[in-house]
Chains A and B, each alone.
Chain A
């Protein structure tokens, strides 16, 4: 799973490389444009284009019928029934491309969340480092230490919460950049990346996790923790990011959907796709 995540991750890094220092909106517009094209491509090749054209014509006809025979109850009821039937058929035509698209879109969204979901930490600020142990290990008896790389400082003694199998520390960022943090347990050293860059668009993985297929799929930002290490996950708290539009915060997912659909519709004529 990690190889797959890693390859996909590299693709996104390549795609976003030119946008690091630009407004996140530029990167968002770019990726939404690509997604729009991808959706058109899938639509064109997996849907019954001929069928969609016909059914749309039929819907138009029934709408016309409805308007023309609005005085005649039986005719208008019939038109409504036909309209409903056509609509269901139209939906069924769209179902196949939707099904084909859904898996890649989920993967894209999971990766995009690494880019648009969080803001980098800033210098002079603190954050919470949360290490969750395997439930079989007590935080009071397991020796876990943290070693901060350049630009970071461990700013508090460990806070051990037995009921949650958790040990927390406060980290202080004193220099901007991408920093390494090492968690040491049983002679093993695990690296966790901490992002405090000035880039307006940067990949940020808040969680490094040991886990099954689903866990790895949902947290693709960093390589998973080895199975034999008694740590389940390592969290760094980052501020949530939002897309700022004239002072209003919009969730990036909303912006992404609206823009992708916009680009899809805008370019459907160019690629001669019926939606």
Chain B
């Protein structure tokens, strides 16, 4: 799989490096990849899953 580069603000890059290290990621790339995957997966969830979740939420036994 090919790789592409993404430009990041310098200040942000400093933060990314610092927090990636603190959180125990092996590299800033891994950290950024994980963050992006997390966000994308939120968007990717199908409508029906969201609808099911919304409906189930009202049940007091679960959160």
Direct A–B contact present (CB less than 8 angstroms) = no
